[in-house]
Structures are given as structure tokens and as C-alpha cells.
A and B are shown apart, each in its own frame.
Chain A
Amino acid sequence: MTDSPKRPTTPLHLHDDTEFAHTESLLKMLGEQDAQAMPEGMNGRLLEAIAKTIAPPPIAIEQPKHTEYFGTRWSMRIAAAAVFATGTTLIIVGAKPWSTMQSPDQAQMTLASLEQDLDAYFSLEEVDVGDLNEAVTEWELWAQTLDSELEADFAEYSWSDLETGLGTDDGEL
């Protein structure tokens, strides 16, 4: 049953030992029983696994690296855009430009007040040119005085004189 030992060893004459023949036959049957329990189709699955192992590696295509490169580049772009957007937002928030901005109502109020200011200015100008008014008034008074003096002078002449052109003075002259 076993490798035959070349040198006889009395207690190890296993191939002639009938003492354990039954035990050994049971062990052999046990081994066969375990082997027969092999699931159906196992050899096919083994061959598939072996084929996957010994299959040549797929041709290395640069596309994965390329994809990775593009992926990295896009990531960089997105990160840069995010940083830019965040920075811009912070700058805007820090500057608070809305605090100096005027609403349309405020602008209208400012315009109305400007008109009032202009009116006031011109009214003030009128007030300031009081000298001119006084001058005008004086001129009018002077004109009225002159008119009254002229009327008094012309009252000594008759209308006929005035029509003929002869007056008393003319005759005396």
C-alpha cells in the first residue's frame, strides 16, 4: 500500500500489515466520498478562474491617465472658480456698497431738494439785486417827476400855438 521501505523495519511493515487494512480501506473510501462530493460544474468554474488569471493584461491605454488628467484639470478649474467666487463675495461684503447707494425715493428727494435750493438761490438773488429794484424805482419816480414838470411847462401854451407853432416867446423874439 505504501512506498516499500528498502530496509526492513519490523514495526513498519505496513504494506503487509493486515492489522489496519480495514481502517485504511475506510480512509480510502472516505477520501473517495469527499472527492465525489465535488459540486457539479466545479471544474468549469476552475477553468474560468484560471483563464482570468492567465489572460494577458489588457492593453494599456493612455485614456485612464488622460481622464485623470482632465479630471484633475477640471477639479483645478472648479477650485479656482470657487476661490474666485468666495473672494469676490468677501470683498463685496467687506466693502458694503449698499450703505452708500440711494434708493429711487432718496434720489427723487435729493432732486426735489436741489430744485428748492435753486429756487431759494434765485430768490436770494432777487433779494440781493435790491439795488437794481431801487434804481428802477428811482428811475420811475424820476420819470414821473419829469412828466409832471413837462405838463406844467406846456400848460402856459394854448393848443393853437402849439398847432401854429407860434408862441408867446416866439412873437417876443
Chain B
Amino acid sequence: MVPALSMNSSDPIDAPDALSNILAQAALGEESAWVELVELYSRRVFAMARSRLHDDELAEEITQSVFVTLASKLTDSSYTEQNRFEPWLFRITMNRVRDYCRKRSRHARPTAPEVFSSIAGKADDDLADRSETQNQLDQMRVAMEQLSDSDRQLIELRHHGQLSFKQIAQITGDPIGTLLARHHRALKKLRNCIDSTKGSETQS
């Protein structure tokens, strides 16, 4: 049986032994272990996919694909990433999202300008009704689109996936120092982008 976890669901699990135990039970097909895994990670995987795709259904589809891969890898004993479960899980998520974005771009579906305008348009239209925080979040979403793919991925792994820099380094293979510097630059870009948006709104 899987030991009952006292932690809040969807919070990153801190005890490696507890996670190893859950994974071992899940590999044996224990239903309660799968319930634990889904509750722990589905929100974070979904959030990461939704941040990039801006579509709830697609994000659920990606999440389901990730968990099905997880299930097949765990049960056929091809999971070899000992003590690196979260980096492995989010690497799968990242690859799924990237594959989907490539497929979408290959089918010549223009995204970026429309996404910008739609999000910005929403922010403009409903400006009066929205709270200041929501307005800032919308501006942040627009600013995220301005980042390079690697910077955006870093931000999403950090803030949507809730991974540590050490775990992100395990995924990308970059040194932690490099990741910290890139993260710092990305935050600066985001802040500058939001500030410029605020400035243009104030002028208008």
C-alpha cells in the first residue's frame, strides 16, 4: 500500500523516499499510487502546457499524453531516472509541448501576432472591469510571448512547473550559474516589457 502523504496535493514533494515509494507502487499498477501521482503533478503539467498553448483542451490533451507515457514507462520498467523523477516528467511535458508547437507551425497556422493582439485586446477592452492584478497578469502573458523560446521555457519550468534550478539544470544540461543568469535576464526583459506597456497606456 502507498503511505498516506500529509503534504498538500500538487505541492512539490520533498521527501525522496516517499516519492520513490509512490513510484514503486505505481509501477506495480497500484491505483492509489496513481491517484497520488495525478494529484501531485497534473496541475503543474497542465499549467505548463496551458501557458504555452493558451488552450485548455489542448493542455489537457498534452497532460494526458504525458501521464500515459509516464504510465507505460513505469510499468514496463523502462524508467531509469532514479531520484530525477520531476525533471524527467517535465522534460516529457516540455517535449510534448514543443512537438505540438512545431506541428502547429508546420501547418502554417499563424499564432504570435494574433495571440498578441487578442490578449492585448482583451486587456484593453475589459480594462475597466478587470482588477489591476488581472490586468498585470494579462500584460505579463503578453510579455512572455516576447521572450526567446529558451528563456520562456526556463520561466515556465521555474514558475509553472515549480522546479528548482538544480532540477531545471538536469533537464537542460546547462550549469546552474548559466540558468540563474538567464533567469535574471528574462525577468528583466519581462519587467521592461510590462513597464513599456504601462507607459504606452499612460500616454494613450
Residues in chain A within 8 A of chain B (CB atoms): 2-3, 5, 9, 11-12, 14, 17, 20, 22-24, 26-35, 37-39, 42-43, 45-47, 49-51, 53-54
Contact = CB atoms under 8 A, between A and B. Distances in A.
A35 B159 CA distance: 11
Contact of B34 (A28, A31, A50): A50
A34 B39 contact: no
Interface in B136-191: 136-137, 140-141, 144, 155, 158-160, 162, 164-166, 176-177, 180-181, 183-184, 187-188, 190-191
A22 B194 CA distance: 11
Contact of B137 (A5, A30, A37, A43): A30
A49 B64 contact: yes
Contacts of A11: 181, 184
Interface residues of B, number: 52
Contacts of B82: none
Given A9-B177, A30-B160, A50-B71, 14 more contacts: A2-B180, A11-B184, A14-B183, A26-B137, A27-B158, A31-B160, A31-B162, A34-B46, A34-B47, A35-B46, A37-B46, A38-B46, A46-B64, A53-B68
A43 B38 contact: yes
A45 B64 contact: yes
A5 B180 contact: yes
B42 interface: yes
Nearest to B10: A35
Contacts, number: 127
A46 B180 CA distance: 34
Interface of B: 10, 29, 31, 34-35, 38-39, 42-44, 46-48, 50-51, 56-57, 59-60, 63-64, 67-68, 70-72, 75, 133, 136-137, 140-141, 144, 155, 158-160, 162, 164-166, 176-177, 180-181, 183-184, 187-188, 190-191, 194
**Most chain-B Cβ atoms within 10 A of its Cβ — which of A28, A37, A54?**
A54
A22 B172 CA distance: 26
Nearest to A43: B38
20 contacts: A2-B165, A9-B177, A12-B177, A12-B180, A20-B188, A23-B190, A24-B159, A26-B136, A27-B140, A27-B155, A31-B51, A31-B160, A37-B56, A38-B60, A42-B63, A43-B38, A45-B60, A49-B68, A51-B34, A53-B68
